[in-house]
Structure 1
């Protein structure tokens, strides 16, 4: 399940663009009810960054879990705190918690970003 932001805008209104969101589909006209006829809907998901919550990353690209296991997620599971820790961690927090060196951090971020962006582009 991907987390999405849905917003409706009056016909002819220009939706705002935010740096932290990337449009997944072009804004399209749709009708929800007689009250919202012609309203526009913008669907967006979070861009990849080190500030992405691990839950969002894993919901969007479950195969990222296998990579995270190699960098310390396995230890969190073995310690029995996965359900407590993971929902509260961002990727940056995970990197800090696992005390990854700069080279490891760069490798991890690069691998995860590639997978995440492929998922978003439909690959």
Structure 2
């Protein structure tokens, strides 16, 4: 079993990839909302962002404020799948996201799993 992960700031494309992974045989796809520190730091430097004085006292407070006040977010897709599915899932991600080696197209990686408990059998999955 492998854990395939895709991180993207393009919400629509992320949802498209999740659906394609399910259609390709992934027994389940989990989607998490996340925030990239680099994006938050860039947003905190935008001119015209009015930050209350008590918030601006520390970088941590500033980033927390930006996180609450902006809609910057990424989607993290997670799926535990048989290793045989990995090539087709990566192909699906590339088809939607484009060349993942290009900036701002997303990041994908695969992690080997020693054990996975509670994962549905791919043959019984919907899709």
Alignment TM-score, normalising by the size of structure 2: 0.32
Kindly indicate whether structure 1 or structure 2 has the higher relative contact order, using CA contacts under 8 Å at least 6 residues apart.
Answer: 2
Give the number of the structure whose residues are more often helix, by fraction. Answer: 1
Alignment TM-score, normalising by the size of structure 1: 0.33
